[in-house]
Amino acid sequence: MTKSIAVFGTGPGVGQAVARRYGREGYEVVLVARRQEPLDALARELAAGGVTAHVVTADLARTGDVPALAERIRASVGDPTAFYYGPVPAGPMFVPAVDLTPELLRERLPITMDTLLALVREFLPAMVERGDGAILSAQGAAAVRGRPNMSGWPTVLAAQRNYLQSLAAEVAGRGVHVGALYIGARIVGTPFEADYERRRAQGEPVPDMAAADPAELADILWDMHSRRDRHESVVPAGLLDG
């Protein structure tokens, strides 16, 4: 049986890199994001390399649309063998903690937590029944350790991390691997990198951050999935030591 992965948040950076990486491993790939044209372009690129790719447009901030989204995916590949979740919310990703409001946190909850929970409820049962599956995510390392002037979205990502840790422990003995990658670097070609460079150019306080190649990050996610020897990885290595 052909394996498949649904890539929720197939934007520039890790999402597209995950699609390419899993395509090379023989997976059918379902590309999910808001905008049709970039997905079509990536699907053509993958098809040229012999990868079967399906395009499904969706706004992942609309949690109520998940049942219909799941049915569209099943119409293409059935219940996917794996899924990757890494969408980015619209608007500013970071604010100083002193400026954080309850309203801003609530705005980040649907795309960060609610839709992920709904997708797990849709696709986890088939993974457990098969005795094989993977749920993968890549997020900023600020979800693991708070940083000055980088509150806001990471506050909700920390809750997502807690959920994934619990989920990993509960399903590990049932053939499903949960793997999360936490990135403390600027991912080349992403909106975060552009926002980081803008803020630094304007003299705003931002931490020094190395650049990361999204293809290398996708390799780490694949390694976590295929080896099943760890549930979390942090880039750069040693970032959170001490």
Go through the domains of the chain in sequence order and give each one's CATH number.
4-235 (3.40.50.720)
Residue 239, pLDDT score = 66
Q: Is pLDDT of 208 > 90?
A: no
Q: What CA–CA distances, in Å, run from 199 to 45, 98, 123, 132, 190?
A: 33, 18, 39, 43, 15
Q: Are 188 and 214 in contact (CB under 8 A)?
A: yes
Share of the chain above pLDDT 90, in %: 71
Q: Is pLDDT of 222 > 60?
A: yes
Residues paired with residue 54 on neighbouring β-strands, in sequence order: 30
Q: How far apart are CA 46 and CA 26, in angstroms?
A: 11
31-62 pLDDT per residue, tens: 999 999 999 999 999 999 999 999 999 999 99
Q: Give the three-state DSSP class for 193.
A: helix
Rounded to 5, what percent of the chain is helix, strand, coil? 50, 20, 30
Mean pLDDT, residues 160-166: 97
Residue 184, pLDDT score = 87
Mean pLDDT, residues 139-153: 85
70-103 pLDDT per residue, tens: 999 999 999 999 999 999 888 777 888 899 899 9
Q: Is pLDDT of 241 > 70?
A: no
| pLDDT averaged over every residue in the chain | 92
Q: How confident is the model at residue 217 (pLDDT cuts 50, 70, 90)?
A: very high
Residue 117, pLDDT score = 98
- Phi, psi at residue 21, to the nearest 5°? -65, -45
Q: How far apart are CA 173 and CA 215, in angstroms?
A: 30
The reported pTM is 0.92
Residue 166, pLDDT score = 98
CA dihedral of residues 207, 213, 218, 223 (deg, nearest 10): -90
Residue 201, pLDDT score = 85
